[in-house]
Amino acid sequence: MAKQQDTKKLFENLSGAGKSIGVLTSGGDAQGMNAAVRAVVRMGIYVGAKVYFIHEGYQGMVDGGDNIEEASWESVSSMLQVGGTVIGSARCKEFRSHEGRLKAAHQLILRGITNLCVIGGDGSLTGANLFREEWSGLLEELVQQGLIDEEAAQNNSELHIVGMVGSIDNDFCGTDMTIGTDSALHRIIEVVDAIMTTAQSHQRTFVLEVMGRHCGYLALVSALACGADWVLIPEMPPEDGWEEHMCQKLSENRADKKRLNIIIVAEGAIDCHNKPITTNHIKELVVSCLGFDTRVTILGHVQRGGTPSAFDRILASRMGVEAVLALLEASDSTPACVVSLCGNQAVRLPLMECVQMTQDVQKSMDEKNFEEAVRLRGRSFENNLNTYKLLSYHKADSELPNSSFKVAVLNVGAPAAGMNAAVRSAVRVGIKEGHKMFAVNDGIEGFYKGQIKEIKWGDVAGWTGQGGSILGTKRTLPAKHLDKIAEQIRIHNINALLVIGGFEAFECLLQLYEARTSHEDFCIPMCVLPATISNNVPGTDLSIGADTSLNAIVETCDRIKQSASGTKRRVFIIETMGGYCGYLASVGGLAAGADTVYIYEEPFGIRDLQSNVEHLTEKMKTGIQRGLVLRNENSNENFTTDFIYQLYSEEGKGVFDCRKNVLGHMQQGGAPSPFDRNFGTKIAAKAIQWISRKLKESYKDGKVFANTEDTACLLGMRRRTMAFQPVVQLKDETDFAHRIPKEQWWLKLHPLMKILAKYKTSYDVSDSGQLEPVTRVRPKKAD
Across the strands, what pairs with 359? none
- Residue 779 predicted with pLDDT over 50: no
Report the run of H or E that residue 49 belongs to, with start and end: none
Q: How confident is the model at residue 10 (pLDDT cuts 50, 70, 90)?
A: low
CA atoms within 13 A on the CB side of 601: 24
Q: What does each C-alpha distance from 640 to 380, 466, 599, 630, 634 come to in angstroms?
A: 42, 34, 11, 12, 8
* pLDDT 10s digits, 583-642: 999 999 999 999 999 999 999 999 999 999 999 999 988 888 889 999 999 999 999 999
Across the strands, what pairs with 628? 572
Beta strands 406-412 and 496-501: pairing type? parallel
**Average pLDDT, integer, range 665-693:** 95
- Residue 253 predicted with pLDDT over 90: no
Helix (H, G, I), strand (E, B) or coil at 453: strand
CA dist 57 and 60 (Å) reads 6
Task: Determine the pLDDT at residue 399.
Answer: 67
Average pLDDT, the chain: 91
**Looking at 29, 63, 122, 169, which residue is catalytic?**
169
- Residue 650 predicted with pLDDT over 70: yes
| Largest pairwise CA distance in the chain | 91
* pLDDT 10s digits, 399-439: 667 778 999 999 999 999 999 999 999 999 999 999 999 99
Which amino acid would we find at residue 278? T
- Residue 769 predicted with pLDDT over 60: no
* pLDDT 10s digits, 273-299: 889 999 999 999 999 999 999 999 999
Task: Determine the pLDDT at residue 1.
Answer: 34
pLDDT over 70, % of the chain: 95
Q: How confident is the model at residue 398 (pLDDT cuts 50, 70, 90)?
A: low
- Residue 160 predicted with pLDDT over 60: yes
Our answer to whether residue 169 is catalytic in this structure is yes
Helix (H, G, I), strand (E, B) or coil at 62: helix
Q: How confident is the model at residue 3 (pLDDT cuts 50, 70, 90)?
A: very low
Q: How confident is the model at residue 181 (pLDDT cuts 50, 70, 90)?
A: very high
Interacting residues of 574 by C-beta distance below 8 A, sequence separation 6+: 553, 556, 557, 560, 628, 629, 630, 631, 660, 661, 662, 663
Sign of CA dihedral 711, 716, 718, 721: positive
* pLDDT 10s digits, 725-741: 999 999 999 999 999 99
CA dist 117 and 61 (Å) reads 13
Burial level of 8, CB count in 10 A (0-12/13-18/19+)? exposed
Task: Determine the pLDDT at residue 770.
Answer: 66
- Residue 778 predicted with pLDDT over 50: no
Task: Determine the pLDDT at residue 4.
Answer: 36
The better pLDDT of the pair 254, 130 is held by: 130
- For residue 208, the 8-state DSSP code is E
Predicted TM-score of the model (pTM)? 0.94
Across the strands, what pairs with 740? 735
- Among the listed residues 452, 391, 395, 425, the one whose alpha carbon sits nearest the alpha carbon of residue 256: 395
Report the run of H or E that residue 725 belongs to, with start and end: strand 721-726
Strand arrangement of the beta sheet that strand 570-576 belongs to: 596-598, 626-632, 570-576, 657-662
- Residue 61 predicted with pLDDT over 50: yes
Burial level of 453, CB count in 10 A (0-12/13-18/19+)? exposed
pLDDT over 90, % of the chain: 78
* pLDDT 10s digits, 735-758: 999 999 999 999 988 999 999 998
* pLDDT 10s digits, 320-349: 999 999 999 988 888 899 998 887 788 899
